[in-house]
Chains A and B, each alone.
Chain A
């Protein structure tokens, strides 16, 4: 079950407080993009935008990356 878009887990992922470690290309591109974006602009508005994108990504790939997401979200 993917948490709702306003769940704090998404902010934790975007800000790097929740580590994302996986061998999956798409997840790593998302994590690297978040890192670069957050380093450039750590404003609450940008964090909220990145958190929504991250949530949308998890929804999109929920079935394909079920094992990886379970680990990240645990």
Chain B
């Protein structure tokens, strides 16, 4: 059985009232919208794209609200930079979960993406959230930011967290919906982790990845799919520069993981609808990727019954790409 949690897209005055009423909130909205909120028990990050009950939506005058359920025993906000990010897990409750939001293109995101799996408490302390971004026509012109409502602080280079302690009978767990699967074929491995790749091994032979992609004419709107013991985790392409021989990714690749190119998906909304069968349990929180929204032309299209922010990266324990993340609170009583 699942514990209920409320998530909705709301107007700025509605969210102002909720903050003033003392509710603990995890928020997603434009900088202008979030800047109008009073101090209170909330964290948030910039993003103006949402999955709504009517379909994908760009809205700078609305805020997506995830309410921490009333049964939570305690809620604490915190801020982290690259230097103390390992404390995220030490500060996380022994029983509960942590909402987190990190700004895109920052050192703290890079640190989280590359090092979170090695931090003490990884997996034992569930961390769920997303990467803040901006309207796509403002990329490079405006910085994504995150907010700690408790201290009325805005950060371009830190992450903020909401540590939520739950009663012993409630357990947090996440799952992912990845519409991409491996197309089979060549196995790609990397010797180092990182967001930028030059050389790799293709079926055990050294190859320049940019050259390989260019020569084979591989479409880069579809990600590399890493096989994590049967779970497919994506690393999406930001840029392939054949002249420089570099490939930039939205999430790091890791040594010891077998990657393959994804099978192309023509109908993203249809692929989500096929996966998100109706009647499935409603998640406590969900987010989806801006690349799915853009490449899949999801504006106005539904992704099942799931609502939430559409983000510049998704977090379910670790950074993910082109993936829907869902948080569930299981009532074990």
- State the A residues within 8 Å of B (CB): 20-33, 35-36, 39-40, 56-57, 60-61, 63-64
- Name, among A25, A27, A36, A63, the residue most crowded by chain B CB atoms within 10 Å (CB to CB): A25
Contact residues in A for B255 (Cβ distance below 8 Å): 36
- Bound: A25/B174 CA distance, A: 8
Does B23 belong to the interface (CB within 8 Å)? no
Whether B171 and A23, one on each chain, are in contact in the complex, defined by CB atoms closer than 8 angstroms, is no
Partner of B332 from the list A21, A27, A30, A64 (CB cut-off 8 Å) is A64
Whether A63 and B230, one on each chain, are in contact in the complex, defined by CB atoms closer than 8 angstroms, is no
Contact residues in A for B175 (Cβ distance below 8 Å): 24-25
Given A33-B117, A35-B256 in contact, is the A22-B230 Cβ separation under 8 Å? yes
Contact residues in A for B332 (Cβ distance below 8 Å): 63-64
**Interface size, chain B (Cβ < 8 Å):** 23
Contact residues in B for A30 (Cβ distance below 8 Å): 123
Partner of A56 from the list B124, B173, B174, B317 (CB cut-off 8 Å) is B124
Contact residues in B for A29 (Cβ distance below 8 Å): 117, 123, 228-229, 231, 317-318
Identify the closest chain A residue to B255 (Cβ): A36
Which B159-189 residues have a C-beta within 8 angstroms of A?
Answer: 171, 173-176
Additional pairs, 5, CB under 8 Å, beyond known A20-B229, A29-B317, A60-B124: A25-B176, A25-B317, A39-B256, A63-B330, A64-B332
Whether B123 and A64, one on each chain, are in contact in the complex, defined by CB atoms closer than 8 angstroms, is no
Digitize B97-118: 1 where CB-to-A-CB distance is under 8 Å, 0 elsewhere. Answer: 0000000000000000000010
Which B77-132 residues have a C-beta within 8 angstroms of A?
Answer: 117, 122-124, 126
Q: How far is the CB of B287 from chain A (nearest CB, A)?
A: 15
Whether A57 and B230, one on each chain, are in contact in the complex, defined by CB atoms closer than 8 angstroms, is no
- Bound: A35/B117 CA distance, A: 13
- Bound: A30/B117 CA distance, A: 9
- Bound: A31/B117 CA distance, A: 12
Does B257 belong to the interface (CB within 8 Å)? yes
Contact residues in B for A36 (Cβ distance below 8 Å): 254-257
